[in-house]
Structure 1
Amino acid sequence: MGRGPTKDHYRIMNENFVEGSLTCLTPAVIERRITTEFPLVLNIEPTNACNAKCYYCPNGEVVMNQGVSFLDINDYKRIIDQIKSHKLIMLNFHKDGEPLLHKKLPDMVEYAKEKNAADVIHLNTNGILINNKVGRGIIERGIDDITVSIDAANKNTYQQLKGIDGFDKLEESIEKIINYRDKIKSNTNIRVKIMEFDEIGKDEIDAFFERWSDIADEVQVTGIQ
């Protein structure tokens, strides 16, 4: 089992979000801060580029219409400077692209931490690059929380959903980054996620839990959003 996050990290997550969700704030939080003129959670997309071809994702259409783009680091810093006084509950690096494709992502994490921009800084990734320089870099710079969307418990389902090969390498990379996290004594929480598709039955979800429950800090099952 990984070293994982601090108790304070879990307190923030448990108090503010509906159980099993990192997108749905509890009614109590919404009611308490409904008068605020500023968002409680903010998504920043480092890039709309992606290295997977998930059939359920709108990314392909977005890139086709808008082209590939990467957020300029100076523009990013201006955003953080504007929001830092509001103290978000969560700053989330994700939308339609794969954030680990942005080579400046570790610098983005570090700047947000320096400015104390959010209670939790979170990343959602497909995990393909999780054990490369950028993936290790965001852990070294202090990212609080990472969700790796694997979405399958076997090669066939993975290829069918993601449109690419590399399932075995992905699993190996996740194990390596958790070991690296523990080695450097980081408190980054690393969860793995599977979504409930028509292609995935209960047996595969059970196999996913069995595969990861003693390795990742959390195992999450969600519907398609």
Structure 2
Amino acid sequence: MDRPAAGAAAGVGDQPVLRQMTQHHIVDQLPVAVLARRDRTLEPPHRLAPLDRTQVVEEVDLVGHLRACERFRARANLPEPATAPMVRRLLRRITTHPRYAELRQNLQLPEYAGTRFTARRVLNLYLARWESARGRTRLWSRPTKLTVEATNICNLECPACFTGAGDLGRPRSHLSLDLYRQVLAELGPYLLEVEFYNWGEPLLAKHIFPMIEEASAAGAHTTVSTNFSFPFDAGRAERLVSSGLSVLGVSIDGARQETYEQYRRRGKLEKVLENCRTVRDAKRRLGSATPRLVWE
């Protein structure tokens, strides 16, 4: 990732704290460069989504946050007073925001199910929003969302899909579990969401269950979009439910087979509905509220 040299990025200024942070690459550990400034000239503007601030108060373990700040202080060789005040200033700004009570309710929306908000995730999100609002092209923030193509194989022949039309131009294959784990190890602490779909049918991938399990265990919201028109027994349904998957989107393009198959070529609507019932029953047996089934 292309990172700015010490003090060279537009708008960073020449604060000693910031220079030390960039020189020691501490931004990789705790991306709080903006929050470390002592003046107000670079305050994030009002157009930034205030959800980031709400998430800090709602979910961050303050003990873990303070420990992270202490590690940051030690690595950057900063004086003692330069750490804890960052946390206190941020929390004070959050709790005094006029829309604080309203915004807290956003965390109850289903789209955040499964996301474990930590200090690192929230501060990285805050930094990403700040960089985006200013149109920065050299970033300190890490990605907050990851799209995983677990396989490019699909059982259908949907005409508007490159895979279904045979125009993808790549060998049929599955994503290596080792490569996936390398990516997750690097980005996992920052990710809010991992979605497992692109040009293939994710539930036909060889390693889809461990992939979902590991992303969920890392604290990310996980999503699968499936055509669900293939055999899927109770055992696989229980494995899917147990994986921690947050949302299972099911593509259904008609209420009758004659309508459905016009686009989902080779698909069987009754099999799709049967599989949905199988997952529903598995959720009931295991007493799980997830994955949430969504008709797409």
Partner SS for 2:192: strand
* Conservation of the 8 A alpha-carbon contact between 1:109 and 1:142: yes
Q: How does 1:138-177 map to 2 (within 5 A)?
A: 138-177=240-279
Counterpart pick for 1:99 among 202, 205, 208 = 202
2:175 counterpart residue number:
71
Q: How does 1:1-225 map to 2 (within 5 A)?
A: 8=108, 10=110, 12=112, 31=129, 34=132, 37-60=141-164, 65-86=169-190, 88-116=191-219, 118=220, 120-129=221-230, 131-132=232-233, 133-188=235-290, 189-193=292-296
| d(CA) in 1 for partners of 2:127, 2:195 | 18
The CA deviation string for residues 109-140 of structure 1, in whole angstroms up to 9 with x for no partner, is: 11112222x2x111111112473344432211
Q: Which has the higher helix share?
A: 2
* Conservation of the 8 A alpha-carbon contact between 2:143 and 2:187: no
| d(CA) in 2 for partners of 1:109, 1:60 | 25
Partner SS for 2:169: helix
Query: Counterpart amino acid of 1:47?
Result: T
* Conservation of the 8 A alpha-carbon contact between 2:144 and 2:192: yes
Partner SS for 1:65: coil
Question: How many residues of Structure 1 are paired with residues of Structure 2 in the alignment?
Answer: 170
* Conservation of the 8 A alpha-carbon contact between 2:224 and 2:248: yes
Deviation at 1:73, TM superposition (A): 0.9
Query: Counterpart amino acid of 1:171?
Result: L
TM-score after normalising by structure 2 = 0.52
Deviation at 1:101, TM superposition (A): 0.5
Distance of aligned partners of 1:122 and 1:9 in 2 relative to their CA distance in 1, 3 Å threshold: farther
| d(CA) in 1 for partners of 2:111, 2:195 | 18
Q: Which moved more, 1:149-158 or 1:35-44?
A: 35-44
* Conservation of the 8 A alpha-carbon contact between 2:228 and 2:271: no
Q: Which moved more, 1:184-193 or 1:121-130?
A: 121-130
The root-mean-square deviation of aligned C-alpha atoms, in Å, is 2.6
Q: Which has the higher strand share?
A: 1
Distance of aligned partners of 1:139 and 1:111 in 2 relative to their CA distance in 1, 3 Å threshold: same
The CA deviation string for residues 86-117 of structure 1, in whole angstroms up to 9 with x for no partner, is: 1x22100000100000132111111112222x
The higher-RCO structure (CA 8 Å, 6+ apart) is 1
The CA deviation string for residues 131-156 of structure 1, in whole angstroms up to 9 with x for no partner, is: 33444322111111110111211101
Query: Counterpart amino acid of 1:106?
Result: F
Deviation at 1:185, TM superposition (A): 1.2
Deviation at 1:36, TM superposition (A): 5.5
| d(CA) in 2 for partners of 1:12, 1:33 | 23
Name structure 1 gaps, 5 residues minimum. 1-6, 14-27, 194-225
Distance of aligned partners of 1:89 and 1:58 in 2 relative to their CA distance in 1, 3 Å threshold: same
Name structure 2 gaps, 5 residues minimum. 1-106, 114-125, 133-138
* Fraction of identical pairs, as percent: 24
Distance of aligned partners of 1:182 and 1:67 in 2 relative to their CA distance in 1, 3 Å threshold: same
